[in-house]
Chains A and B, each alone.
Chain A
């Protein structure tokens, strides 16, 4: 498994820095209700880069992808079904 070039790591790093600048830049603008989804979207892209390249998901088995996704699905269940309560309270 040796002989991997380290170039992808530097490319991803550069991208992450650009995205960091973007995060900060977007936060200074007033996009009203869109500020939050934009911030989360940028964070998700950063997370994706870290997961796929730094954490080697790219070269991992389907099973590893399944485990990684399962955790996200479970987190979504916890947040989603709880919000189901909080967002629909009457008054």
Chain B
């Protein structure tokens, strides 16, 4: 039926195509639609692996919290839910700007895309900034039981069990923050392309894929927020 050997393109560019006319299609694909579908499917699969990756930590959290519910409730009062609420709002807003950015890239609106991508990066950066502030406060209060740093827990519950809460807190939010930083770098990469007025059609798939990734990282936070900060909130800031 189709004869594939006439493809002139020998460059194995992979994920940059648009659904417009004559986008560059990599050698192994028959047409732009197949390429786009394959990329989308691939990204969803990758997000499944990410879900299972975080899943291990969620399992650890679940069993420790069930075993020591009161300890977790009290320990979580040491992480300020007010700031976490602000962080959640920032991230949800960044998902909006991300969705708008993907749309803009698709429509070839370079300036709008640049603005939306920049906003997304700033909101993400704000999130990271607050998180670092949080980490620092906990360290200053001797509630960061890592690398043998002194752990001074003052509460009614058992200190060594409370330690488990803080360990999981740092691991879970740390892994999440790492993913945010990677996301911000990916956003920067696309934003530079938009600033340079690169062909939007070539970048729309990449933008869509990064968008999926960004929303996923947001999704993880949507669950981390109540699990770590809202068990039995006391002081908000």
Indicate whether A and B are direct neighbours in the complex (CB within 8 Å): yes
- What residues make up the interface of A, taking CB atoms closer than 8 Å to B? 1-2, 4, 6, 9-10, 12-13, 16-17, 20, 23-24, 27-28, 35, 39-40, 42-43, 46-47, 50-51, 53-56, 60-61, 63-64, 67-68, 70-72, 74-75, 78-79, 82-83, 86-87
Say whether B51 contacts A82, CB under 8 Å: no
Could you pull out 17 A-B pairs where Cβ atoms are within 8 angstroms? A1-B106, A2-B108, A6-B103, A9-B96, A12-B96, A27-B81, A43-B225, A54-B99, A64-B44, A68-B44, A71-B48, A74-B51, A75-B55, A75-B58, A79-B55, A82-B63, A86-B66
Question: What's the least CB distance linking B33 to chain A, in Å?
Answer: 10
Within 8 A of A (CB), among B71-128: 81, 85, 88-89, 92-93, 95-96, 98-100, 103, 106-108
Within 8 A of A (CB), among B183-199: none
A20 to B84, CA, bound (A): 11
- What residues make up the interface of B, taking CB atoms closer than 8 Å to A? 19, 37, 40-41, 44-45, 47-48, 51-52, 55-56, 58-59, 62-63, 66-67, 81, 85, 88-89, 92-93, 95-96, 98-100, 103, 106-108, 208, 211-212, 215-216, 218-219, 222-223, 225-227, 230-233
A60 to B200, CA, bound (A): 22
Q: Which one of B47, B62, B212, B218 lies within 8 Å of A71 (CB-CB)?
A: B47
Q: Of all chain B residues, which has the CB nearest A38?
A: B226
Question: What's the least CB distance linking A31 to chain B, in Å?
Answer: 11
Given contacts A67-B45, A79-B55, contact A2 B107 (CB under 8 A): yes
Given contacts A20-B88, A27-B226, A27-B233, contact A10 B96 (CB under 8 A): yes
Count of CB-CB pairs between chains A and B under 8 Å:
119
Interface of B is mostly: helix
Say whether A67 contacts B222, CB under 8 Å: no
Q: Which one of A2, A16, A43, A60 lies within 8 Å of B226 (CB-CB)?
A: A43
Interface of A is mostly: helix
Question: What's the least CB distance linking B171 to chain A, in Å?
Answer: 17
Say whether A83 contacts B62, CB under 8 Å: yes
The 7 closest A-B pairs by CB, nearest first: A71-B48, A39-B226, A27-B230, A13-B96, A71-B51, A75-B55, A67-B44
Say whether A50 contacts B67, CB under 8 Å: no
Say whether B96 contacts A78, CB under 8 Å: no
